[in-house]
Amino acid sequence: PDHIHLVLSIPPKYSVSMVIGYLKGKSAIHIHRKAEGVKKGFIGRHFWSRGYCASTIGLDEEMIRAYVRDQEHLDKQEELDFTQNP
């Protein structure tokens, strides 16, 4: 997959950019350690793209959660439909 979807609840005292930066930074270090066996020297290594997209949700939160939960299945179905009907 080339992207991920998350539904997060961020307390107002934290900025979205700080939380995303923390998640991306800590997860990249963990992935480099586990998948690549890198113990130190993470400067200059990249895992995530530079940007992110954030949106607020309100009354449709359950619909958004269902979309995120079913995203992999929906992507596979779209890919299958495209290969069958180009």
Is the CB of residue 46 less than 8 Å from the CB of residue 29? no
The DSSP code sequence of 16-77 is: HHHHHHHHHHHHHHHHHHHHH---S--TT---S-S-------STTHHHHHHHHHTHHHHHHH
Residues with catalytic function: 67
